[in-house]
Amino acid sequence: MDETPGPATPLPGLGAPIRAGIPEHGRVPKYYAVKGQLEALLDELGEGGVLPTERDLAARFEVARETLRQALRDLLIQGRVRRRGRSTVVAGPKLEQPLSLASYTEGVRRQGRVPGRNLIGLERSAADPLLAGQLAIGVGEQVWHLERVLLADGERVGLESTYLAVARVPELDREFDPGSSFYAFLTEKAGVELGGADERIETVLASPREALLIGTPPALPMLLLHRLTRDAAGVPLERVRSLYRGDRFGFTTRLEAD
């Protein structure tokens, strides 16, 4: 609520009815008050600073351990703090990735971080009707499924799952280095020219398997990007599901008037 600068001036034209029926603040829960105190402490400590133990913090703020834990959980989910071994440290700012056709690799590099990927699997299978429709291929045609954990400065931050027709890149398993940029491979080695994509952004919870692969607590909200990419001729190229840690990532975009 630190968004309201200075005292509010009541408006003669808009009297009592403004807030009618909607309590302005309600009761502020205790954990939320503690969270505010913790945030001030985080600012003091600065990025990388180590927090005192839960017991010390509970004593300092004169609250129950459970109340303190709830406040810390919120800060963890928001990405204000993170675990490092047994300690809790002040986290750095979220990574801000532009929404663009550019690859993950390029976006992370632009922010001065080192991108990386760990291969989970590269397998071929037969396209089901949904996927075949999305890729404009026949049902049962062979598709690649490439799944990789995304890294920034060596830390696991996301999970990317890509489907595309084997006919597009028959030698993917032999020619592609799964630790490198897939879009760089497509455009530089496979001769594919990217045209555009339709993307959908949501917030979801990670499944237990996804949480395990990314190494996050299971209740952490994630940003899910679902993308259908076309080549320069407008022909469907790939379907991608990218899951990013909500505590480590945000996306930016520039909107223009029509």
Could you tell me the smallest distance in angstroms from the CB atom of residue 105 to its own copies?
16
Q: Residue 51 or 80: which CB sits closer to its own copies? A: 80
Could you tell me the smallest distance in angstroms from the CB atom of residue 196 to its own copies?
5
Nearest Cα neighbor of 241 from 217, 218, 216, 223 is 223
Contact 128, 121 (CB under 8 A): no
Spatial separation of the C-alpha atoms in residues 163 and 94, rounded to whole Å? 28
Could you tell me the smallest distance in angstroms from the CB atom of residue 59 to its own copies?
24
Could you tell me the smallest distance in angstroms from the CB atom of residue 56 to its own copies?
25
Q: Residue 46 or 208: which CB sits closer to its own copies? A: 208
Q: How many CB atoms lie within 10 A of CB 162?
A: 20
Q: Residue 113 or 241: which CB sits closer to its own copies? A: 241
Spatial separation of the C-alpha atoms in residues 144 and 137, rounded to whole Å? 13
Q: Residue 69 or 173: which CB sits closer to its own copies? A: 173
Output phi, psi for 224, to 5 deg: -110, 125
Could you tell me the smallest distance in angstroms from the CB atom of residue 149 to its own copies?
7
> Tokens in use for 17?
């009815």
Q: Residue 89 or 194: which CB sits closer to its own copies? A: 194
Could you tell me the smallest distance in angstroms from the CB atom of residue 115 to its own copies?
18
Helix pair 65-77, 54-61: axis angle to 10 deg: 110
> Tokens in use for 168?
């597009």
What Cα–Cα distance (Å) separates residue 249 from each residue in 35, 51, 63, 94?
A: 21, 23, 32, 5
Q: Residue 41 or 120: which CB sits closer to its own copies? A: 120
